[in-house]
Amino acid sequence: MARSRAAYEYTEAEDKSMRLGFLLIAAGLLSLLGLGCCWLRPALQERGSGGSANCTVLAVRQLGERFACTFSCGAACRGTARYPCLQVLVRTSRSAAPALLHEDERQLRTNPKCSYIPPCARDDQENSENVTYKQKYWKEKVGSQPFTCYFNQHLRPDDVMLKRTHDETVLLHCFLWPLVTFLVGVLIVVLTICAKSLAVRAEAIKKKKHL
């Protein structure tokens, strides 16, 4: 009995392998729980409350109002600049009423009054030029061509988004990598146990042959 118990004692390398496997299993499970509660579940709810529609540009205009943005020019260098407000009004296939277009959900939350927030530059003139370029894009390149837009009933129902913040690829990676971590941990533990079991059996067969 003592010999059998001693035979099944793990070596230092096998013990490290088992610890690594259990660590990966725990990390995978905690990641799945954390992402599921804090990020994945709200993202799925957000997607489930929205949908897609065909949008056509009605008007593109700049308001006289300017908004502040924060730029960074180094580790300890930050400042505030201003940019003009661009509004792109569209008609959707789900409603005859005009809707305000936004880049995505984040931009809608950051500035619900405007359709575009330029990358914040230190120079206000550069910010104005970026907004003017975007205005020409919607007027001249898009024009009356229909395009796909998205809406979300939990946010402002009269606004639409050009793209979703949480697309299928992001959701897939959110679920895939914790699952892979969990499965790799299980595989390491199972392979270590199997290898130890085979080594013990081989040692037992070897001893029988010498008897």
pLDDT (tens digit per residue) in 60-84: 999 888 999 888 876 677 888 999 9
* pLDDT, position 138: 92
Q: In the chain, pLDDT over 70 holds for what percent of residues?
A: 79
Nearest alpha carbon to residue 15 among 192, 185, 191:
192
Do the domain assignments include residue 76? yes
Do the domain assignments include residue 102? yes
* pLDDT, position 170: 60
Q: Is 10 helix (H, G, I), strand (E, B) or coil?
A: coil
**Same structural domain for residues 87 and 148?**
yes
Least confident segment among 12-21, 28-37, 94-103: 28-37
Whether 197 has a pLDDT exceeding 80, the answer reads: yes
Eight-state DSSP code of residue 123: S
Query: Higher-confidence residue: 138 or 4?
Result: 138
Rounded Cα distance between 174 and 172, Å, is: 5
- Residue carrying the six token digits 């892979």: 180
Whether 40 has a pLDDT exceeding 60, the answer reads: no
Do the domain assignments include residue 184? yes
**Same structural domain for residues 100 and 125?**
yes
* pLDDT, position 2: 44
CA count, 13 A, side-chain hemisphere, 209: 6
Question: CB–CB of 138/60 below 8 Å?
Answer: yes
Whether 21 has a pLDDT exceeding 80, the answer reads: yes
Whether this prediction's pTM lies above 0.85 is answered by no
210 falls in which pLDDT band (50, 70, 90)? low
* pLDDT, position 44: 55
Cβ neighbourhood burial of 76 (10 Å; 0-12, 13-18, 19+): exposed
Question: How long a stretch of residues is the chain?
Answer: 211
* pLDDT, position 59: 92
Structural domain boundaries, residue 154: 49-165
Whether 125 has a pLDDT exceeding 90, the answer reads: yes
Rounded Cα distance between 171 and 36, Å, is: 10
Question: CB–CB of 161/103 below 8 Å?
Answer: yes
Do the domain assignments include residue 25? no
Mean pLDDT of 135-157: 82
Whether 131 has a pLDDT exceeding 80, the answer reads: yes
Q: Is 117 helix (H, G, I), strand (E, B) or coil?
A: coil
Q: Is 57 helix (H, G, I), strand (E, B) or coil?
A: strand
Do the domain assignments include residue 211? no
Question: CB–CB of 138/162 below 8 Å?
Answer: no
β-bridge mates for residue 59, sequence order: 89
Do the domain assignments include residue 33? no
199 falls in which pLDDT band (50, 70, 90)? confident
